[in-house]
Structure 1
Amino acid sequence: MTSGHAHPGLDGEPIYLDCNATTPIDPAVVSAMRPYLDVRFGNPSSTHHYGAAPAAALDTAREQVAALLGAEPAAILFTGSGSEAANLAVRGAVLAAPRRRHHHMITQATEHPAVLATCRALHRLHGVDVTVLPVDAHGLVDPADLRAAITPRTALVSVMMANNETGTIQPIADLAAIAHAHGALLHTDAAQAAGKVPVDIGALGADLVTVAGHKMYAPKGIAALYLRPGLTLEPVVYGAGQERGLRAGTENVAYAVGLGTAADLSRGGLDRERYRLAGLRDRLHQALDAALPGLVHLNGHPDQRLPNTLNVSVSGVSGADLLAAVPQVAASTGSACHSGTTAPSPVLTAMRLDRDRALGAVRMSLGRWTTRSDVDRAADLLATAARRLHRGAAHAVG
C-alpha cells in the first residue's frame, strides 16, 4: 500500500524495521487532522456553530473505525491509548460483572503488560483470582487449557489477537466460543493485528476489542475500544457523559479523525498490503538463513503470525550486541515496552526458549514504506555483523 513516495520521516537510514513499536504517521492522516488542530477547534459537545464540524468529524471517525472491524459505529469508544482501552475493557468488564462472576478472570502468559498489570491490580485491590494460561513453544494458547480453567465464577477471558514480539496469532474464535459457552466475556487486544490482518467482530466472536492508532499509521495518544452492544462496563475515567459515559473528557477530535482516516486507509488496501509484507518478511528471513546457514532460529509460529513480523535468534550472538553493531538498522530486541533491560523477554521465556536464545532474539517488523531494497540491505548488514560476532564468540570460547 505504499504510495511510491518516501515518507518524510524516513530518509533511508537507519532502515526502519520497528513498526510493531510504532508506525510513522501517514501523510494523508496528517492532512485529515490538520483542520481540527487550527480552524475547526470547537468542542464537539457544543450545540453552536463551532461544535458542529468537530461533532460530525467525530461521527465519521467512529464509522471508519467500525468499518475496519465490521462493527456498528455506536459500539466504538475512543480512548487516549491502547493501554487505556485495555484497562477499560478488563477492569471495566470484571468490576461490572454480576457478583457471582466478580471474582475470577483468565488471561495468558504472553499477554501485553497493559492487561497483565490490570489483572494484578484487580487481584490486589479487589480480590479477583487470575488464572494465567501457558503457551506452547510457538506462543499459542491451547483451547483445551482454557476449557479446563474456566469456571462458573469466570467473568472475563482476555487473550491478545497477535503478539507484539513474535507476531503469533491466537485462535480467538475458538477461545471466544469456549468463554461464551460458560457465560464469560472475551476481550482481545488487537492493537498489533488491526490494519495488518482482517479483524472481523462477527468472525472472532469477541465482546471487547482494543485497537491503537500508532500501530496503524495514526498518532500516538489515540485508540479505540469495541464494546458489544448491551454490555456494561465500569468506567476508568469518571466525569461528564462523553463516550457513552464510559470515558470522560472532551474528545480529542483531531486525533480521532487521524485514527479514523488510518483505519480507512488500512481497510482499503488490507489484502494487497499483507501479501506484500509477508513476501518481504519471508525474503528477509530467507536471506538471513542463506547467509548464516544453521544459525538462524525463528521465534513464534511459522505460519500463524502477522505478515510483517520476523523474530529470530542467531546462535551464539546476543540480539543487543547484533543491533548495536548495525546502527544502520532500527529494530528491536523484543517488545519496546521492555527495552533497556538485559533480562530475557517474558514472552520468549513463557515460550520456554532457553536463556541464550531468548537473549539472542531480534524482532524486525516491516511497514507501509518498507521496500525490497530495505530488506536486502538490512539482511546483508545484519548477516555480516552476525558472522563477525559469532566468530568472536567462538574464538573467545576456544
Structure 2
Amino acid sequence: MAEILVLGAGMVGVSTALALQARGHAVSLVDRGAPGRETSFGNAGIIQAEAAEPYGLPRNLGTLWSFATGRSNDVTWSLRGVAQMTPALWSYFRNSAPRRHAGISRTYAQLTARATGDHAPLIEAAGAGNMISREGLVQLYRNRAAFEADAADAERLRRDYGIRHRALSGAEYRREDPALRADPAGVIHWSDSWSCNAPGCLVHAYAKLFASRGGRLLEGDAASLAQSGGGWRVTTVAERAEAEHAVVALGPWSPRLLRSFGYRIPMIYKRGYHGHFASARPPLRPIVDMDNGVVAGQMQAGLRIATGAALVSRTAPADLRQLDRGRAALSDMLEIGARVAEPQWSGTRPCLPDMLPLAGAAPRHKGLWFHFGHGHQGFTLGPTTATLLAAALDGEESDLSRALAPGHRF
C-alpha cells in the first residue's frame, strides 16, 4: 500500500482517487473547492461511447474560413488567444492529418469503448442511477447533404468500431420525440451513449463514495505542491499532507503547475459556456445541433444549452455570442422559455495537440504522475483512464497505458 495525493477533484481526479483506493492505497484528494465545481460542472453531461474518434482540427479550407470569419458558431476566437496557442494549434493541425488522426483514433476508440462500462459500477455504488439516462443522444441536421454524408460516415464507424446508431428522417424522429417543433432534414441517433442530468452532482456523488470508503477530502491549493524527502507534500487548510506519490489531475490548470517543475506541456484551451432555460417539453435525448454548434439537454436546473469552443486567452472576459446564437437557432426546433437566473458559468476543455490524454509517470520526477488533457471527454473517460493510471502506478503496463504515458510525448 502506498500513500498518494491526488490534486484536483473534477471527474478525472475523483475517478483517479477511487481507482487507486480500489487497489488498496491510502489516498487524499485535494482541491481548493468542492468536488465537481469546475470544468466537470458545466459540460453537456454525456458519456460519449460513440466518440471513437477525437475531434480533429478541420483541414477543409471552407470550414477553416468559416471559423476565421466568424460565420460558424462552432468556434470563436481572439487574436490574443490564438497567438498564445499557435505552437499547440499547429501541432494539433498536423496531428489532424488523415493518416495521423486514424492512428490516434485506434487508441482513442479503445478508451471510449470502455466508458459506460467503467462508469457503471461507480454509478451503482454511489447510488446515482437516478441521474443517468441510457437513451443515447442525437445529432440533428437541417442540411440534407450534411446529414447524408454523416450518415454514411456513421456506417463506417459501425464497421470499424461496432458503434450502434440509427439514421432517421426528420419526420420519423419527430414522431418519436414530440418535443421537436419541426421536421429536421435528418437525425443520427447514437444509442450506446448515456447522459447525466447533473454532471457536477455525479462527480460529487463519486467523491462521497470515495470518502465513505475511507478516502480523505482535503481543501488546499495545488500550487503548494513540493518535493519532500523521497515523496511529495501539499499544504491544505487542515494540515501539511505528505505522500510517496502525487497525481496532477488539474485539467487546464495542470501545465501551469508543472511548469514550475520544468515541464513545458503545450495545450489548446477551448472555453465553453452554458445556460439553463425553462422548457415545458424537453427533448427525449440530448440534441447536438450540427448546424449551430450547441448541445441541448434536460438537466435538473432546466434545459441546458452548452456551446462549442472559444479559442481565447485564459483571462478574456465572458463572451456569450455562441450561447445567444445557439439559443436563437434552436428555437425553430425546441420550445425554449426564459433563462434561469444563475451565475454565468464558463469552463475550459484541456486539449493536447495529439488529442490523447496523459496518464502515467512524469519523465523526470519519481512519484509524480500526470493525469489530464482529456479535451472534450474528461467526463466520459475519467474512470477509464484512471483505471489505466492506477495499474501503471502498481507496475502493470499495457499497450494502451503506454500510448497515454507522458515519457515519449513530452
User: Could you state the TM-score of these two structures normalised by the residue count of structure 1?
Assistant: 0.23
Q: 1 or 2, which has the higher strand percentage?
A: 2
Q: 1 or 2, which has the higher helix percentage?
A: 1
Larger RCO (CA within 8 A; separation ≥ 6): 2
